[in-house]
Copies of this chain bind each other. A is one copy, B any other.
Amino acid sequence: MSQSESVTAAVLVIGDEILSGRTQDTNTNYIAKFLGALGIDLREARVVPDVEEEIVAALNALRARFTYVFTTGGIGPTHDDITADAVARAFGVGIDYHPEALAMLAARFANPADFNEMRKRMARIPFTAALVKNSASVAPGFHIGNVFVMAGVPMIMRAMLEDIAPTLKRGAIVHSATVQARIAEGRIAAGLAAIQRDFPELAIGSYPFYREDGFGVQLVARGRDAAKVETAAGAIEMLVRAEGAEPTRV
């Protein structure tokens, strides 16, 4: 697969609760791994507050640059759920109750009075968007242009990704191999740089760690050519041994 065919993505996390520190975002990490398994490269992630202009600006910046944008958060029934309106504005389209979404939500309530105005907000979908259904909630996400709008609740977001996955273009899978060693990264940094030069089509990363049982480093080779990843990992193991440490694959 040539560079020009690579499939890329960005994540846009929408929510004051992430920026206040109240909530640890885990959706970005989940989406990164999920897309990775489809050969789609996550290239950027942003977190913006529940402010319409901020959402619009970030969405327009990201959707112009990447194959896909995945948003999380802000599609519930409460006043602070403003993602659908912001997405409509970003695309310059109107927004109204979507008949199918209304019907899906209405079916959830035995007593029609329980399907109140605020709950109906969850059926407001930008014009031209298609619904993203899911197994975890009757409230849908939606898909407009190259943007997928998903819930912030991880369980629901994950179910939506399952609905979305079959519709996505896929790229070649990125393979990776990780060599761990109880060695300071400064000891093997020059050798590692040489390995990076030998394998320009791979990304060679070095990630030190500090744990109760001591420090060390994880050396990661990533790339679309599995054989080259394996060859580079072998070279990293030799480098570690040459410095007197024992490499382990993790």
Q: Give the contacts of A24-82 with B (CB-CB under 8 A).
A: 24-26, 28-33, 36, 41-50, 54, 76-81
Interface contact B25-A206, CB-CB below 8 Å:
no
Verify A42–B28 contact, CB threshold 8 A.
Answer: no
Q: Which B residues lie within 8 Å of A23 (CB)?
A: 29, 207
Does A165 count as interface, using CB distance less than 8 angstroms?
Answer: no
| A230 proximal to B (CB < 8 A) | no
Q: Out of B26, B44, B196, B208, name the residue touching A46 (CB < 8 Å).
A: B44
CA distance A156 to B50 in the complex (A): 31
Q: Determine if B204 and A80 form an interchain contact, defined as CB atoms under 8 angstroms apart.
A: yes
Q: Specify which chain B residues have a CB less than 8 angstroms from the CB of A203 in the assembled complex.
A: 16, 50, 80
A164 close to B (CB within 8 Å): no
Bound form: Cα–Cα A42–B110 in Å: 42
Distance between A131 CB and nearest chain B CB, rounded to angstroms: 19
Q: Is A166 an interface residue (CB 8 A)?
A: no
How many identical chains are in the complex? 2
Residues from chain B with a CB closer than 8 A to the CB of A43 are 19, 49
**Which range contains the number of A residues in contact with the other chain?**
35 or more
A50–B77 alpha-carbon span in the complex (Å): 38
Interface presence of A155 (CB below 8 A): yes
Give the Cβ gap from A172 to chain B, nearest Cβ, in Å.
15
In the assembled complex, the Cα of A25 lies from the Cα of B42 at a distance in Å of 14
Are A20 and B36 in touch, CB under 8 angstroms?
A: yes
Min CB–CB distance A40 → chain B (angstroms):
11
Determine, out of A83-91, A95-103, A116-124, the stretch whose residues face the partner at the interface.
A116-124
A104-127 interface code vs B (CB 8 A; 1 in, 0 out): 000000000010111101000000
- CB of A69 to closest CB in B, whole Å: 14
Find chain B residues with CB under 8 A from A156 CB. 210
Question: Do the beta carbons of A193 and B17 come within 8 Å of each other?
Answer: no
A21 close to B42 (CB less than 8 A): yes
